[in-house]
Structure 1
Amino acid sequence: MARRPEREQKDERESEIVDKLVAINRVAKVVKGGKNFGFAALVVVGDEKGRAGFGHGKAREVPEAIRKASEEAKKNMVRVPLREGRTLHHNGSGRWGAGKVVLRSAPPGTGLIAGGPMRAVFEVLGIRDVVAKSLGSSNPYNMVRATFEALKEQVSPRQIAAKRSLKVADVLSRRKDGASSLESAEG
């Protein structure tokens, strides 16, 4: 009897997961009788509460490629700490191949200022306020991977406090004290 509730809980978690198709690519293999066509899909999935992942799937039919990519993305989900559940804790940058991205936290009401593949990642993550810029390659695969590299760098004040054996309030107050001491030194 204990197995049934577990299965229902798993179904509930999976029903909360949102997936977005980022790119679909038709590929052809030239053979003796002509061309064999296949499809490659790039999908990002997330729970809109700080967890997201991406996956790549290839198949002869589009729906099958999307299904494979979604399954891989669900296996590769990572947690990203969000400030107030709407933005990043600090600025960050990521790089994958020739794709470079810069992410900046933003005040409430800014919205999602990001293009293409990065926007899809932020939407499934549940980020509502962020400013992002893509530099270098516009290849969706590299942009998504670079975005995830930048998101992996995100650290919350709670994680910093745990590493330093401090209280969260001490970490936050030190940050404010450091900024005010810099301002007084300049003035």
Structure 2
Amino acid sequence: MLNCRSILKLAQQTGALVQQKLISSVRQSACDLPKIRPCNVLQQQIRPATFFNKLPAEELWKGVTSVSNAGKKRGRGKGVGKKIAKNLNKGQIIGVGKANIVWPGLTGPVVRGRELVQQQQLPEDTEREARLIKMRNEMGVFRRLRLAPTERGWSGAKMPGRSIGPPDDIGEDTFEGFDTRVLEMKTVINMKGNFGRYRRMSVMVVTGNGNGLAGFALAKAVEPRAALRKAKNRAGQQVMHVDLFEGRTVFHDFFSQFGKTKLFVSKRPEGYGLVCHRGIRTICQVLGIRDLYAKVEGSTNLSHIVKAFFIGLMQQKSHHELAEEKGLHLVEMREENASFPRVVASPTVCRSSSDIPSDEIRDLTQYALGGRVVLHKKKWPPFYTNLPFWDTVMKKMEKVRNHDKVRLEMLSEYGEVRSFLTEKYPECKPIRFSKSDKNAEGDN
């Protein structure tokens, strides 16, 4: 009987014997072959070529992240397209590597003065690897765009409301003094049968010189920068002139409508400011309007608001045109002038009272609004005026009612708060306390 140990020993001896016979047979066959001289051996350099070293990086990334046309039709590929690799060529300079060597004509001048520069070894740059690593780590890091407060748009760093400069020059025509503001910037998608979802950027801008010249335009392009440039130049080719009253506001109130958007614009006195939609405010800034009130009713589609406002500006009439059209004197009454009537414009031939029909609209505001009347909602009193304590409060305040108004009138007229007895009794005037008097009383 053979045990496991004897079987293993017998197998090892058999394997060694077979190996020796194989080696001897190979040696015998090698001796029988004719000897080959080294000069007869042909050496051929082999460079295995694949698509990795034939295609550029952009094509490789496109092959990884792209979606077929059939997939685009079904709405696939929405989350792909982000590159996560780093550009290892960034920071690399031709001729500069780990071995810091001066190469004349590449990394250094060939001749320095009268001396011919020779190739030489420089000390090793220990900070080179650290700079490259830092530069590569900063690649792809999102940094929030920081803008000055005056350069921001309607919502932080977004484009709507921001300035993109004047339009490009057209030959000898320059747009000096013009400023272009972005009104709307959005992504529009058109579904194609062969390309799938075709995405483009839609940009609406307005440009003006702040002195009555302005124009707006809409443009589309695949890239945002191209869409902004196209819209800006197109707006510069569609400039319109708008007459301004005193160079700051409109001539009269007007009503305009585009689609479902209704716009009521009111003239305001100097110093009132711009109380209106932010799109209308941006147009007024590039146009030169400083005092205006506008109320938007209906749809708040920005393109409709812009078109309705420009339609109203182009349809407004000057005071002389209104007087000639009505055949009546145009009289203005302002609250700041105590409603004192002032003739602004007179017609060439004025109609008499017998020539004026009884149902004719004589109010300029209502006539400019096309017979419409602006709805002013009633301002309801505060809720606490219906509570029981309000009557008690009014009874207590009755003795000091309107004292603040009387005090302001006295200060504006006499320069001090005084009584009707002040001329007879000079001591009948309020005592003025100062901080020094209070400090003196405190020390005492």
TM-score range, shorter chain: 0.7 to 0.9
Please tell me whether the aligned partners of residues 100 and 136 of structure 1 are also in contact (alpha carbons under 8 angstroms).
yes
Letter paired with 2:203? A
Does the alignment pair 1:172 with 2:334? no
Matched positions, count = 168
Give the aligned partner of residue 265 of structure 2: 103
| Cα deviation code 1:36-59 (max 9, x no counterpart) | 321111111111001111100010
8 Å Cα contact 2:323/2:345 also seen in 1: no
Alignment equivalent of 1:50, drawn from 195, 209, 212: 212
Q: Do structure 1's residue 92 and structure 2's residue 254 form an aligned pair?
A: yes
Residue in structure 1 matched with residue 233 of structure 2 by the alignment: 71
CA offset at residue 159 of structure 1?
4.8
Which of 168, 178, 185 matches 1:17?
178
% of aligned pairs identical?
31
In the alignment, is residue 60 of structure 1 matched against residue 232 of structure 2? no
> Alpha carbon RMSD of aligned pairs, Å?
3.0
Q: Which residue of 1 aligns with 2:313?
A: 151
2:285 is matched with which residue?
123
Report the CA distance shift for 1:123/1:136 in structure 2 as closer, same or farther (over 3 A). Answer: same
Describe the SS at the equivalent of 2:187: strand
Highest CA radius of gyration, 1 or 2? 2
Q: Name the structure where helix makes up a greater proportion of residues.
A: 1
Higher strand share: 1
Contact 2:324 2:346 in 1 (8 A): no
- Label 1:162 to 1:48 Cα distance change in 2 as closer, same or farther (>3 A): farther
Contact 2:320 / 2:346 at 8 angstroms: preserved in 1?
no
TM-superposed deviation, 1:113: 0.7
Is the CA contact 1:80–1:154 (under 8 Å) kept in the aligned structure 2?
Answer: no
Alpha-carbon distance in 2 for matches of 1:52, 1:42: 14
The Cα shift of 1:153 comes to 1.5
List per-residue Cα deviations over 1:47-94 (Å, max 9, x = no partner).
100111110001001121122222222222211111111111100111
> TM-score if structure 1 supplies the norm length?
0.77
Q: CA deviation at 1:33?
A: 6.2
**In the alignment, does 2:187 pair up with 1:26?**
yes
